[in-house]
Amino acid sequence: MDYLKDRVTIYEVAKASGVSLATVSRVINNQGNVTEATRKRVQDTIARLGYKPSGLAQALATSKSTTIGIVIPSANYVYISNFLNGITEIAKEKGYNLSLFVTSHSKEDARSVLEKVIKSHVDGAIVFDDELEEEDLSQLSNYAVPCIVVNNRIETEKIGCITFGYEHLLREIIRSHLEHEPDKMPIFLHVHNCGRLLERTERSFIRVCDEMKKEYRIINCDDSYTRSYQDFLEFFEEEKGGKFFIAYRDSIAAAVINAATDSGLNVPEDVEVMSLIGTKYASIIRPSITSMNIDMGEIGKRAMYMLIDLATGKLNNKRYKFESTYTKRDSTKE
Partner DNA sequence: TTGTAAGCGTTATCAG
Partner DNA sequence: CTGATAACGCTTACAA
Return residues touching DNA (CB under 7 A).
Answer: 6-7, 9-11, 18-26, 28-29, 32-35, 37-39, 51-54, 56-58, 60-63
Q: Which is nearer to a copy of itself, 103 or 204 (CB)?
A: 103
Phi (first) and psi of residue 174, to 5 degrees = -65, -45
Q: Are 91 and 112 in contact (CB under 8 A)?
A: no
56 binds a copy of itself (CB under 8 A): yes
- Judged by CB under 8 A, does residue 84 bind a copy of itself? yes
Residue with Cβ nearer a copy of itself (38 or 139): 139
Task: Determine the Cα–Cα distance for residues 275 and 226; give it in Å rounded to an integer.
Answer: 17
Q: Does 78 bind a copy of itself (CB under 8 A)?
A: yes
Q: Enter the DSSP assignment of 268.
A: T
- Partner whose binding site includes residue 38, from a copy of itself, DNA, none (CB under 5 to 8 Å by kind): DNA
List the one residue out of 101, 105, 102, 132 whose CA is nearest residue 119.
101
Residue 174: enclosing H or E segment and its boundaries? helix 167-180
User: Contact 275/253 with Cβ under 8 angstroms?
Assistant: yes
Residue 81 and residue 224: Cα distance in Å, rounded?
Answer: 19
Q: Does 94 bind a copy of itself (CB under 8 A)?
A: no
Shortest spacing between CB 104 and a copy of itself, in angstroms: 8
Residues 146, 160: Cα–Cα separation, whole Å: 8
Is the Cβ of residue 140 or residue 198 nearer to a copy of itself in the bound state? 140
Position among 15, 25, 102, 242 found at the interface with a copy of itself (CB under 8 A): 102
Contact 240, 270 (CB under 8 A): yes
**Which residues of this protein are in contact with a copy of itself, per CB under 8 A?**
1, 3-7, 50, 52-57, 59-60, 65, 67, 70, 74, 76-78, 80-82, 84-85, 88-89, 92, 97-102, 104, 115-116, 118-121, 142-144, 225-226, 251, 254-255, 258, 261, 280-281, 283-286
